[in-house]
Structure 1
Amino acid sequence: MLINRISMIEAGSIWPHLYKKFPIPRLGVVLLGTILKNHGFDVKIFVEDISEIDWSFVESSDLVGISTITSTAPRAYALADLIRKKGIPVIMGGIHPTFMPEEALQHADYVVRGEADLTFISLINYLRKGSPNINDIKGISFKDSLGKIYHNPIPDLIDNLDILPSPDFSLLKGFRSNNIYPISTSRGCPFDCKFCSVIQMFGRRYRFRSVEKTLIDIKMAIKSSNGIIFFVDDNFSAHKGRTKDILKGMIEEKIKARWSAQVRIDVAKDEELLRLMAESGCSTLYVGFESINPQTLKYYNKKQDLNDIVNSIKNIKSAGIHIHGMFVLGADTDDIETIKRTADFAITNGIDTVQFMILTPLPGTPFFFEMQDSGRLIHMDWSRYDGHHVVFKPKMNIEMLQIETIQAMKKFYSWKYIIKNFVNLNFYYALIGLYGKILINKTLKNIGEYLESIHSLSFEKTV
């Protein structure tokens, strides 16, 4: 098969939400595109949340790769169906096809499961040359001529992430200097939160790029951007000594950046680490608080308590760093008062921005299997598995969980929040609050139709 031109697509989200305003491309599709370019292919990357697809390039491609998470799977499938009708083969990958490969194979010619950095190019070479033998390519799912499905063993996790190239964002259509530049310094997470799919995809073993390679990636980002970067590691400070070395390197080499990262609350127990973060340009830490309900924290297997959360907020803010607090609502141990108290807690403790997400059973997670086995999944409209819709039968009232979560967002992003930040010249946060208020009011008006649909589905399953 002749393959020269390849399109890589990251499917976009369907439903609006507050953080769609600030899209950050997932690195998987960009990294694969970079690897293909380095092997001599003519490649372009399209991330729908950033720019429209150039269909003239796609339709002239010899092959198309599509990456998707669970909430974008319906859109990814629609794109794959459209492209295959034009006679162009499609390979699908990403976290959702990894755990739902047979479903994905209804729309794609091949599925690449798990870490695809090495296996994807092997599959391309098989399609071009007939070698290596497809049965020897780990992580590939495919159908034979009779329609029988085969799932090759999942590939080994990559130990040394330094073998991977720095992602080339010039391949990504519409990516501009004012976009937030994502950087990955590690994979995996040593913790095991019940609802998280990271461990299932990337393992509990913490793997990382060297400090030297990471600093090179950061410098490349600064050259091609406005200096705003986001470390997309699932836990940027999982290995604190290494994180400190990166930050010291940024300071010593006078790298001017404004950066953010995802961390756990234990980062706030290390005064030196917080100081280095502030000195190196950290503007915001995205902290997975998850809950203020002690029973829910145990249910989530978070290994933290409310005092830890309160102290972490104080310490992070004392270091001059903003906090984006992430909370997950709707566990069996929660009730309506939990949601209301969470909003009050976030306001009272001065958290700068928040995400109040509805607990979502993502395929591959322990929570998904628990809900599936107990018959508590309401539906599998994957587009609603975005953390903003109730998709399982909680212990509390379904409608109240849905509405009160939105109301909690509305309470946080109030006129008081907007005016306070405007008066204090925090125009960025004032605009976030204003945009959030508009979107939340719109969501409240439109959520009734969804609630009616899931009410009938939930009722049907109980009669």
Structure 2
Amino acid sequence: MCRIENVKIVIATKFRAYIGFAKFIRLNIFARFHNRLVGILVAILFLCAIMIRKMKIVFIEPRPPDFHIFSRFILPRLGTLILGSILKQAGHEVEVLIETAKKLNYKKLLKADLIGISSITSTAKRSYVLGDELMRLGKTIVFGGPHPSFFPEEALSHGHFVLRGEAEQSILSFVHALEQRSGLEKIPGLSFRVGDRIFYNPSAEPCLNLDTLPFPDFSLMDTGADLALRGIKPVMTSRGCPYDCSFCSVTQLFGRKYRFRSPENVMEELISLNLKKGDTVFFYDDNFVANPENTKKLLRLMIENKITPSWTAQVRVDCTKDEELLELMRESNCFFVYLGLESVNPSTLRSYRKKLTVEQIEDGINKFHQYGIRTHGMFVLGADPDDVQTIRQTAKFAIKNKIDTVQFLILTPVPGTRFFKEMDEQGRLLTKDWSLYDGHHVVHRPAGMTPYQLQKETMKAMAKFYSNWELLRLVLRFDFITFLYRTYGNYLVSRWRRQRSSRKYYRMMKEVSAGTVARLGDNYRKTAEDIRRYFARLRKKSFIAEKR
């Protein structure tokens, strides 16, 4: 359905362009030139010009405000690359700038006709500054991504348009409407402002057949940016999630019903990647094994076609009940899995609606290790049933069960989730400085401890897991591979503790906990001063040039 609609739009666009110019030629060219031959020649030149002219479109994925455990492993979100691929196939000139992979190329932004900015909550402030500065130069700005989708009115203060949710079915019609200067009211999922009034078009229907989407074209990335990926090839095989955890926005974005690509279609993409020795495939799904039969069929195809690079994915820990699946994962060269374990507190697991028990978590980790698959455990700390002891027990649990690497994240009320709505209604949000909504800063008042305790104990848990003592124990066990992973974690913890902004935040949390400060301001941290400096210099140069 997605691809058919896009083809229709491309054909319609070209057809209308030809008809429009035919009218122009009839009304203007022949009226001015009595010589029929001259008129025909001019008409041909005009037609060539419209066929050659393409809209220059640049998508930007701004960098996050701080480093984190995956900072070394750069993974672009695939949305902008898929949209770019659709537009490229329609004849537009497209580039995708991933700021974590390479510094922004401002010259390319200044030459663009349309600039799309994809934003998550933690990058929203930086995205908005970029939008403000580019609008001042007369550029057309469209926002997309999770945060603008949930707060379109906020985003429209910094840009002209917001494409909410999945935009694959509306991106071509949107660009066509911009070219024709009409028809914006018909674009599904589009929000835009006219004067003081904001219009919200009905939401776009999700693409039900994911096989119709083009493969992400990584050649659209800025020159040299692909080197920053370090041989990691991201591949998406599904969208949606039925579990609806209270702190997760996936269901609001992609729905509670799973949608899957066919194993054959995924296999075709894997072949097209031309994988080299040392490349790693990361399956980008929120739960790669959501449909076990689908996953098993894909893994069999990989084995049969002898395309078995080292691969990794996010999975549920209880998938280990399926021995056949585990065997296929091992045989197809799965070497690491990312597990959303969330908590070792049974009450917290229930409040998250995780549908897991602590015993299932322990059994699952052990089973993965039996099959030679390493585990990365992701825990979310600070739910209402949690207290200081919960955090300390979580660190002990991770060490005892020999989880290879971990993330202890602070529960964050991300916009679009039930948890955000609850915290906002209860007046428990400490700030709406979106740059702090990164899982490493306390931004709400927890029920079972003070904000300072949650901030301090979470970092202590990370320091305990990645401590020098634990590194020594790994050496004594001759587990040198895990030692290397943990050494990187040890470095990040030390770096975070030394960082001046981290120490400042600790002090601020102390004041909030003591009642000296009621809440933080909504502009606590500056995250886009480099962008402001660049455009200030640009304006200064323009002013000097005009005076001359």
TM-score interval, normalised by the smaller of the two chains: over 0.9
User: 1:13-62: CA deviations, max 9, x gaps?
Assistant: 01122221212111011111111111111111111111111111111111
**Structure 2 counterpart of 1:325, from 369, 377, 380:** 377
Residue 332 of structure 1 and its aligned partner are, at CA, apart by: 0.7
Which residue number in structure 1 is paired with residue 538 of structure 2?
A: none
Q: Does 1:12 align with 2:76?
A: no
Aligned partner of 2:285: which letter? Answer: D
Q: Which runs of 5+ in 1 are unaligned?
A: none
1:164 to 213, 217, 220: 213
Which piece of structure 1 moves more, 319-328 or 73-82? 73-82
Q: Distance in 2 between matches of 1:360 and 1:262?
A: 20
Tell me the SS of whatever aligns to 2:409: strand
Q: 2:451 aligns with which of 398, 413, 416?
A: 398
Whole-angstrom distance in 2 between the partners of 1:52 and 1:387: 24
Residue 185 of structure 1 is matched in structure 2 by: 237
Deviations for 1:288-327, whole angstroms, at most 9, x for unmatched residues? 1100000000000001111111110111111110001010
Contact 2:263/2:294 (8 A) holds in 1: yes
In structure 1, what is the Cα distance between the partners aligned to 2:231 and 2:64?
18
Which residue number corresponds to residue 136 of structure 1? 186
Judge conservation of contact 1:3–1:62 (CA < 8 Å) in 2.
no
Summarize the Cα distance change of 1:430–1:3 in structure 2 as closer, same or farther, 3 Å threshold. Answer: same
**Given residue 188 of structure 2, which amino acid in structure 1 is its aligned partner?**
K
Match of residue 67 from structure 1: 118
**1:131-166 Cα distance to aligned partner (Å, 9 max, x none):** 5x211111101001x221111111111110011000
**Aligned residues of 1:32 and 1:117 also touching (Cα < 8 A):** yes
Q: Does 1:115 align with 2:166?
A: yes
Q: Sequence identity of aligned pairs in percent? A: 45
Structure number with the higher helix fraction is: 2
Instruction: Tell me, in whole angstroms, the C-alpha distance in 1 between the residues paired with 2:54 and 2:114.
Output: 7
Q: Is the 8 A contact 1:181 1:225 kept in 2?
A: no
Tell me the CA shift for residue 432 of structure 1: 3.3
Alignment of 1:148-163 (within 5 A): 148-163=197-212
Q: Whose Rg is larger?
A: 2
Q: Distance in 1 between matches of 2:375 and 2:178?
A: 48
- Rounded Cα–Cα distance in structure 2 between residues aligned with 1:165 and 1:455: 50
Match of 2:399 among 347, 358, 363: 347
Separation in structure 1 between the aligned mates of residue 279 and residue 488 of structure 2, nearest angstrom: 24
Shift of residue 438 of structure 1?
2.6
Query: Counterparts of 1:54 and 1:276 in 2: how far apart (Å)?
Result: 43
| Aligned match for 1:89, one of 140, 153, 156 | 140
5 Å-filtered alignment, 1:16-415, equals: 16-131=67-182, 133-144=183-194, 146-173=195-222, 174-176=225-227, 178-223=230-275, 226-395=278-447, 396-415=449-468
Question: How far apart are the structure 1 equivalents of 2:479 and 2:180?
Answer: 58
Return 416-425 or 349-358, whichever deviates more.
416-425
Q: Report the CA distance shift for 1:3/1:380 in structure 2 as closer, same or farther (over 3 A).
A: farther
Name the SS of the counterpart of 2:117 in structure 1: strand
Conserved? CA contact 2:87–2:94, under 8 Å: yes
Distance change (3 Å), C-alpha of 1:5 and 1:224 = farther
Does the 8 Å CA contact 1:72/1:382 hold for their aligned counterparts? Answer: yes
Q: 1:203, 1:448 → 2: CA distance?
A: 39
Pick aligned residue for 2:506 from 451, 454, 463: 451
The answer to whether the 8 A contact 1:3-1:128 is kept is no
The CA deviation string for residues 408-446 of structure 1, in whole angstroms up to 9 with x for no partner, is 111111223434555677655434322322321232344
The change in CA–CA distance for 1:220 and 1:303 in structure 2 (over 3 A counts) is same
**Cα distance in structure 1, aligned partners of 2:344 and 2:81:** 37
- Take 2:351 and 2:370, find their aligned partners in 1: how far apart are those partners? 30
SS class of match (1:440): helix
Displacement, 1:461?
4.0
- In the alignment, the residues of structure 2 paired with residue 431 and residue 82 of structure 1 have an alpha-carbon distance, to the nearest angstrom, of 43
Q: Say whether the 8 Å CA contact 2:189–2:201 is kept in structure 1.
A: yes
- Give aligned pairs, total: 460
The CA RMSD over aligned residues, in Å, is 1.9
Matched, 1:440 2:493: yes
Aligned pair in 2 of structure 1 residues 86, 457: CA closer, same or farther (>3 Å)? farther
Equivalent in the alignment of 2:13 = none
User: TM-score when scaled to structure 1?
Assistant: 0.95
Q: 1:266-290: per-residue Cα shift (whole Å, max 9, x none)?
A: 2111000011011111011101110
Partner of 2:10: none
Look up the equivalent residue of 1:175 and give its one-letter code.
Answer: D
- Rounded to whole Å, the distance in 2 between the matches of 1:178 and 1:80 is 30
Would the aligned equivalents of 1:6 and 1:43 in 2 still touch at CA under 8 Å?
yes
Cα distance in 2 for partners of 1:180, 1:427 equals 22
Contact 1:256/1:281, CA 8 A, preserved across alignment: yes
Aligned residues of 2:340 and 2:378 also touching (Cα < 8 A): yes
Give the 3-state SS of the residue equivalent to 1:266 in structure 2. helix
| 2:78 maps to amino acid | L
Structure-2 separation of matches of 1:428 and 1:22: 17
Task: Compare 11-20 and 348-357 and name the one that shifted more.
Answer: 11-20
User: 1:455 deviation in Å?
Assistant: 5.2
Distance 1:342 1:225 in 2: 37
Deviation of 1:69 (Å): 0.5
| Structure 2 unaligned blocks of 5 or more | 1-49, 520-548
Is the Cα contact below 8 Å between 1:7 and 1:63 reproduced in 2?
yes
Deviation digits for residues 241-284 of structure 1 (CA, Å, limit 9, x no counterpart):
10100101101111031111011122111000011011111011
TM superposition shift of 1:222: 4.1
Give the secondary-structure state (helix, strand or coil) at the position aligned to 1:284.
strand
Q: 1:43 to 1:420 in 2, by over 3 A?
A: farther
The TM-score, its normalising length taken from structure 2, stands at 0.81
Q: Distance in 2 between matches of 1:242 and 1:334?
A: 37
CA contact (8 A) 1:186 1:233 kept: yes
